[in-house]
A = this chain, B = another copy of it.
Amino acid sequence: MNVSNKIATPDNLFWPQRNSIVSATIIDKAVVLHWNDDQQSTLHPVWLRDNCCCEECLNPVTREHLLDLRDVPLDIRPSSVDIDAEGALVVSWSEGQHRSRYNPDWLHAHSTEARSQRDDQIRQWSATDLSEPPSLDAINGVVTDELLYEALVTILRYGMVRLRGLPTDPAQVETMALRIGPIRETHFNRIFDVISKADSDTLAYTSHHLAAHTDIPTRESPPGIQLLHCRIAEAKGGQSTLTDGFKVAHDIKRQFPAHYKTLISAKWCHANRAGATDYRWSAPIIGLDDRGEPLEVRLLPFSRAPLQADYKDMDSIYAALVCFMDLVNSPDYQISFPLAAGDLIMFDNRRVLHGRSEFYPKTGDRALRGTYIERDDVMSKIREFEQLRSRSS
C-alpha cells in the first residue's frame, strides 16, 4: 500500500533464470549490465558489496546480513566482473580477496523497471459499483489456502471481502486470524463480542444504530484489518454497512477541494475515556502517504474529543468534517447488507468505514465476534503464497 514496499521477488537464493545477462562491464566505478530483454542496469559498487550473499556476508538460515556496512569502504571499486557458467554475475573487489556472486533474476528484479506494481491493484468503489462486499464461498465450511489467498487479494483490492458458509463455532474468527498473522490486541481485548450488553463501556456493544466509523483512532496506529464473524443472526435489523473512505477522499478532493485541504491537515483528537484507561490520538481525518495518496482515514464520531483549533478556523474545520460524514453515510457511497450466520467479513479498518443499523434484541439474538490483525500480515501472507506459487510454477 506504499510504493516503496513493492520490492520485487525473487530472493537471491531463488533461481529459475528467466533473465540473462548479455554483457557486464565496469564503467567508472559502476558495473553496467545489458540484459537479454534490451534493458540496461547501472549498479553501484557499495550497493553490490552490501548485497553480497555469500555465507560470510549473509546468514544463510536467517537471511540477515553478517557484513557490517561500516566495514565497507565507501570508495570501494570492482576490480573485475565476469558472467559464470550458470549465468551469475561475479564481481571481484579492489579491497581484500572477496568475490561476490549474484543471481541474474534477482539483479534483474532489483535494478530494472520490472518492479511489480502492487498499488495498481487497488480498486476504489462507491455504492454504484457494488451493492455488497465481494464474496467467496467456503465449500463444506472449509477455507482452503487458495480461497484464503483470493480473500487476501480481494482485501488489498477492495478493502473488504466476505467469506460465506463458515462454521459458527466461537473459535472460528481467531483461527482464521491466526492463519494470516498474530492478533493485534487493543484495550478492547484480544477477541471481542459485539452483542448488546447492559453495562456496555461503548456504544458498539449496544443495539443502537452506528454511523460509518473506523475503530480505535484513539491509538497512533489503529488496527489495520478487522475480522468480524457472524455467529447468530436472528434479531431483526442490524444491517451491516461499509463505505470506501479512499473513494470518498478521492471524490471530495475533486468536488470540494477546500474541504479536502482541511480534512488532510486539521487534526481531530479521538479519545476513549470510559473506565480507567485514557487513550487519545490526534490526526487528520484523511492521512496521506509521502506520495500524497490516502494512507488511512480515521473517524469515530462518538469518540471525538473537543476540537482544539483557533476560533477563526472552526467554521471550515466543522464544515469539512460534516461534508465527510455526510458522504460516508450517504447511499451513494455506503453499501448496506445483512450478515448471515457463518459469514465472516474482513475489511481494512484504515480504509473502509463500517457501521450498522439499529437492531431489536427482543426479536432474537445477534452475535458477532471480532478481532484485528495488521495490513502487514495480509501483505506478508500474500507474498508468501505468491512465493510458493512462483516456486512451483
Contacts and interface: CB of A to CB of B under 8 A. Distances in A.
Interface of A: 2, 4-5, 7, 11, 30, 42-44, 46-47, 50-51, 59, 61-66, 68-70, 74, 110, 115, 181-187, 189-190, 199-203, 211, 218-221, 224, 267, 269, 271, 273-274, 276-282, 301-308, 311, 314-315, 318-319, 321-322, 325-326, 329, 374-377, 379-380, 383-384, 387
B7 A306 contact: yes
Contacts of A211: 68
A327 to B, nearest CB: 11
A281 B2 contact: yes
A46 B219 contact: no
Contacts of A280: 5, 7, 379-380, 383
A56 to B, nearest CB: 14
Contacts of A182: 185-187, 189-190
B274 A7 contact: no
Contacts of A325: 69-70
A134 to B, nearest CB: 24
A278 B70 contact: no
A74 B277 contact: no
Residue among A43, A44, A326 with the most chain B CB within 10 A? A44
A47 B110 contact: no
A322 B70 CA distance: 6
Nearest to A277: B380
Contacts of A44: 311, 314-315, 318
A170 B299 CA distance: 40
Given A282-B2, A301-B68, A315-B74, A63 B7 contact: no
Nearest to A307: B47
Given A70-B326, A221-B221, A303-B64, A308 B183 contact: no
A203 B62 contact: yes
A5 B315 contact: no
A387 B278 CA distance: 9
A311 B31 CA distance: 11
16 contacts: A5-B282, A7-B282, A47-B307, A47-B314, A50-B307, A61-B274, A62-B202, A62-B302, A64-B303, A65-B301, A66-B203, A182-B185, A183-B185, A277-B380, A278-B380, A278-B387
B374 A219 contact: yes
A283 B298 CA distance: 21
A216 B363 CA distance: 48
B62 A200 contact: yes
A30 B306 CA distance: 16
Given A7-B269, A74-B318, A380-B279, A306 B187 contact: no
Contacts of A326: 70
A377 to B, nearest CB: 8
Contacts of A277: 380, 384
